[in-house]
Chain A
Amino acid sequence: MAIQVCGRQSKTPYYIEAIKTNVYSLEEINFFIFNHINLVYREFFCDELFDYIEKELGRDDIAEGLRKLSMQNADLKDFIRYLLKESYYYSGSELSVVAAYVMNIDIMSEAERLRIEADGYYKMGKLESALRVYFEILSGMEKEALSEAFYAKVAYSIGVIYARLFMSRNANSFFSYAYDLYPDPLYARACVYMALVNNDEEELLNTIIRFNISDETLETIRARVGALKREIETSDETVNFIYDFENGINRQTIIDNWKEEYYERTS
């Protein structure tokens, strides 16, 4: 569906301290909650917000509902669920993406909130920002009593980002570190993938031995990598790109686009 009905946009802003940004509509408030749920605390739902929603956005129904929750000393998750649901900005299926976060938000630790933030940066393609936050989580590992599986996932995510930035040695280090924290076969397979992509036989052999990779698993991954390589090499996009680049067609534009894409990823 192309478009959806929305509410009023006020000329008067409402300042959200957590993201240091003014918002002007109920849709923007919803957007903030949905995309920065790790930054939403009980204090966000205050009288100023309720008054703004009522007077500036004309939604006295929602304001009244939030005030009732406030009088009942409701949990943070109830405020979030109510606002997101009654705004009808996100559909039911879209809200299911954050449902798990919302359910646990009252008991979420700082590290878990940071991980939501980092995952958000990753989804937006802001890889450097995602890296920075993932590292922040790992640096606080000793302070918080979260499971090693949790930190292994964070390490794995760092590895994935390094792989996307073509820093394969770094990627491999973190896949290996993730496995050390929590021996999930996924992390071992990731190391195999990196070795095959790098065409590094020595690294591959070390990986097979260290993680006890079976022949069957190795052949499956090898076949998959081979198939992906062929798919990329024979795609119209690659063929046209090689032709254009070798013949100097739009070469500068191609390079500029790469630069822009890389800056975007590393922002």
Chain B
Amino acid sequence: MDKRGLIIGIDYAGKYCQASYYSKRHERPESISYGGETMRYLIPTALCYNHETKDWIIGQPAVEYAEKTGERLYKDFLENVFLGGICSINGQEYSYTQLLAVFFGKIIELTQMATSVMGVENITINLRRVTLEIKNTINDVFRILKLPLEKVKLQTCAESFAYYLLNEEPSIWSKGSVLFDFTAEGFYEKVLTVTKSGSDHLVYISERTHTSDFSMEDMGNGVLMEQMDQRLTDLYEEITAESRISSVYFTGEGFSDLWFGNTLRRVSETNRAFKGNNLYAKGACLSGLLRAERPGQDYNIVCSGRTKHTVSVEAKHKDETLLLNLSRAPKDWFDAGMRMDFIVSEADAIRFYVTSLIENKRSSFDIDISEIPRRPHKATRIEIELRYMNEYSFEVTVRDKGFGDLFPASGFETTKQIDLTSEF
């Protein structure tokens, strides 16, 4: 019997949230619904405290309860975290990080109730953008929820799209696929193509924004909607003129009404068309499934937010010289850092290599360690830490750790910053 816990995918957006879990029975992600008649799977990203039941409620029930009772509705969690917001409920102070922890905790509870499975294998959260601050906040949230951080992964919409698509039959994506994402936050286009690079397959996702051409404020106006439909058709034809495409996806509340009928007809002439709002949540869930079933393996997804360079160092291991990867592209930049110890042989500098995934070009840079005090042969342990600041820049720090109590650390530390957008 499979004792694996829940594999949960959450699409966390400003106004709404969606969640799904992997159903072993149906062998696919299933969406979690919570309250309301329409848009069952869209959970308003809001929280309210019910003084009668002395418990928190989330989503549409929270919105309705707040409207009915005048209780405060808490939302915009991440924004308020960064503003340092604090609120007081029943004499107790809560930070927005704690409120966000309550919100995610309730999502997990919903999933547990829907499945009768209590354990959590992993959670993948899809976000519109990921920064170090957001990552640190999410880490704090799951520390509060006492879930090990290695079970939690963040990813972007482009990645969730890729995981969703690659789980479909190859005919849907083998020639490429387009995603149009239309919400109050904007209009986004993502084009996925798969190419072979050596023995690997690379999944490229290019992204563009067309927010100035498409606005939800135009909904309800027949003429403006017709114009939007024409612009969408033109956009589709521009894309298909440059790339071969097998399928087109329409997602986001902007596509709830069928104002884009002409475009849909045009797409259906040569490609398969899909519409739905839970693509990112399911893609996040499928990413979790891959991690659970094939740990350490991943698709080579190249998109915004992922590193495009492999950073390596030459090191000896078991009498052989290796090029050891410190960070192998492509990887989410916020997860691409690492720390590793090495023993120094006779050397005053360490050479690092940076290999471009896309151009297949290699460059190198050295870090001078001549200021580490001279010690007997191989009696120096150093720590090499690689830290990305964003997908285009990283820094490498080398620290002298001495050699246990035999030779104490000197305190030597040096850092080199590398900007991948320029020669170094």
Contact = CB atoms under 8 A, between A and B. Distances in A.
A1 interface: yes
A92 B319 contact: yes
Given A2-B314, A3-B350, A22-B405, A124 B376 contact: yes
B381 interface: yes
B345 A4 contact: yes
Interface stretch (B39-47, B202-210, B336-344, B410-418): B336-344
A28 B403 CA distance: 7
A9 B341 contact: yes
A3 B405 contact: no
Given A1-B321, A4-B342, A27 B378 contact: yes
Interface in A64-108: 88-92, 94
A27 to B, nearest CB: 6
Nearest to B351: A2
B349 interface: yes
B343 A4 contact: yes
B317 A4 contact: yes
Given A2-B350, A4-B317, A124-B376, A89 B343 contact: yes
Is chain B's interface secondary structure helix, strand, loop, or mixed overall?
A: strand
Sort chain B's interface into a size bin. Answer: 20 to 34
A259 B351 CA distance: 36
B404 interface: yes
Interface residues of A, number: 25
A24 B407 CA distance: 12
Interface string B343-369: 111010111000000000000000000
A24 B342 CA distance: 14
A2 B406 contact: no
Interface in A2-52: 2-6, 9, 13, 21-25, 27-28, 31-32, 35
Contacts of A23: 404-406
B313 interface: yes
A2 B345 contact: yes
B314 A25 contact: no
Contacts of A5: 315-317, 322, 324, 342-343
Interface string A203-218: 0000000000000000
Interface string B107-139: 000000000000000000000000000000000
B343 A27 contact: yes
Given A2-B349, A2-B351, A3-B343, A22 B381 contact: no
A5 B347 CA distance: 14
A1 B316 contact: yes
Nearest to B350: A2
Contacts of A9: 341, 381, 401, 404
A32 B378 CA distance: 12
Contacts of B349: 2
Q: Which of A3, A31, A89, A92 is packed against the most chain B CB atoms within 10 Å?
A: A3
A91 B342 CA distance: 15
Contacts of A21: 404-406
A10 to B, nearest CB: 10
B318 interface: yes
B319 A91 contact: yes
A196 to B, nearest CB: 33
B376 A22 contact: no
A27 B380 CA distance: 10
B381 A27 contact: yes
Contacts of A94: 377
B329 interface: no
B404 A4 contact: no
6 contacts: A3-B342, A5-B316, A23-B404, A23-B405, A27-B381, A124-B376
9 tightest Cβ-Cβ pairs between the two chains A and B: A2-B347, A4-B316, A3-B342, A5-B317, A24-B404, A6-B343, A28-B404, A88-B318, A22-B405
